[in-house]
Amino acid sequence: MTTDTYKTIHVAASGSYDIIIGDGALACLGERLHALVGNCRLALLTDSNIDALHGAAMMKELTAAGYDVCKYVIPAGEESKSAENMLAFLDFMARNRLTRSDALVAFGGGVVGDLGGLSASLYLRGISYIQVPTTLLAAVDSSVGGKTAIDIPAGKNLVGAFYQPRLVCCDTRLMDTLSSDIYRDGCAEVIKYGVILDAALYDKLHTLPFDRIDVVARCVEIKRDVVQEDEFDNGKRGLLNFGHTFGHAIEKLSNFEVSHGSAVAKGMVIAAKMAPLFGLADVEKPLTALLEQYGFDLGCPYSAEQMFDVILSDKKRRGGNLTLVLPRAIGNCDLITVPVDEVLVKLKQVI
Ligand SMILES: NC(=O)c1ccc[n+]([C@@H]2O[C@H](COP(=O)([O-])OP(=O)(O)OC[C@H]3O[C@@H](n4cnc5c(N)ncnc54)[C@H](O)[C@@H]3O)[C@@H](O)[C@H]2O)c1
pLDDT in tens, 164-175: 999 999 999 999
* Domain coverage including residue 336: 180-350
Residues 23 and 81 in one domain: yes
pTM value > 0.95 = yes
Cα(46) to ligand 1 centroid in Å equals 11
Same domain, 259 and 242: yes
**Is the domain of 290 the same as that of 276?**
yes
Whether residue 278 is found in the same domain as residue 305: yes
Q: Using omega within 30 degrees of 0 as the cis cutoff, is the peptide bond preceding 153 cis?
A: no
Query: Quick one: 301 and 200 in the same domain?
Result: yes
**Per-residue pLDDT, 5:** 84
How much distance in Å is there from the Cα of 277 to the middle of ligand 1? 34
Output the residue whose Cα is nearest ligand 1's atom 21: 109
> Which residues line the pocket of ligand 1, CB cutoff 6 A?
47, 49-50, 53, 76-78, 81, 108-112, 114, 134-135, 137-138, 141-142, 145, 147, 156-157, 174-175, 177-178, 182, 185, 260
Whether residues 135 and 186 share a domain: the answer is: no
pLDDT at position 177, please?
Answer: 98
**Are 154 and 217 part of one and the same domain?**
no
User: What are 226-270's pLDDT values in tens digits?
Assistant: 999 999 999 999 999 999 999 999 999 999 999 999 999 999 999
Do 305 and 330 belong together in one domain? yes
Interior CA angle at 64 toward 61 and 65, to 5°? Answer: 85
Residues 192 and 341 in one domain: yes
Pocket test for ligand 1, best of 118, 137, 237 (most atoms within 8 A of CB): 137
Same-domain check for residues 213 and 151: no
What distance in angstroms lies between residue 142's CA and the mean position of ligand 1's atoms? Answer: 8
User: What is the average pLDDT across 322-329?
Assistant: 96
- Whether the pLDDT of residue 138 is over 60: the answer is yes
CATH number where 309 lies: 1.20.1090.10
Final residue belonging to a domain, choices 144, 177, 210: 177
